[in-house]
Amino acid sequence: MAVEEPTLERSKLRNAAIVFVLGSVALLALALAFTTGDRTWTAIGEFGGWLIAVLFAVEFVRVGLEALGLFVLVNGTQDEKIGLRHCYSLTLEAYFVGQLIPVTAAGVPYQAFLLTRRGVRAGSATAVVLVKGFVPGVLFFVVLLATIVLAALGWKGPEASLTFLKIVGPISALPSAFVVTILVIMLARPALFDRLVDRVTAFVASKLRGRAAARMEAMRVTMEEESHAFRGALSALGSHKRVVLVWGVLLVVLATLTEFVVGLIIMWGFGYRGSVVAPILLQCLLKAILAASPTPGSLAVGEGGYIGFFAAYLPSHVVGVSLVLWRLVVYFAPMFVGGALVVRRLRRGRVVADGKKDLDRAPSGEV
Q: Which pLDDT value is given to residue 354?
A: 46
Domains of the chain, residue spans: 10-176+242-350
Query: Please, are residues 254 and 65 in contact by the beta-carbon 8 Å criterion?
Result: yes
Strands (DSSP E) found in the chain: none
What pLDDT score was predicted for residue 105?
A: 41
Q: Over the stretch 12-53, which tens digit does the pLDDT of each residue have?
A: 778 888 999 999 999 999 999 999 998 999 999 999 889 999
Q: At what angle do helices 333-361 and 49-75 cross, to 10 degrees?
A: 50
- Provide the residue type at 99 as one letter: Q
Task: Cite the DSSP H helix spans in the chain.
Answer: 10-35, 38-47, 49-75, 84-100, 107-117, 122-152, 159-188, 190-206, 211-240, 242-269, 277-291, 301-311, 319-327, 333-361
Q: Do 78 and 127 form a contact (C-beta atoms < 8 A)?
A: no
**pLDDT digits 0-9 by tens, 270-292:** 999 988 988 999 999 999 999 88
Whose CA is closest to 313, among 269, 257, 259?
Answer: 269
* SS3 category, 281: helix
pLDDT of residue 52: 93
CA distances from 364 to 168, 235, 355, 357 (A): 66, 51, 15, 13
Kind and range of the H or E run holding 99:
helix 84-100
pLDDT at 357: 46
From the list 24, 16, 76, the residue with the least C-alpha distance to 243 is 76
All residue ranges of the chain with pLDDT < 70 are 1-9, 102-109, 157, 233, 236-240, 349-367
pLDDT at 4: 54
Q: pTM for the whole thing?
A: 0.86
Give pLDDT, residue 108. Answer: 63
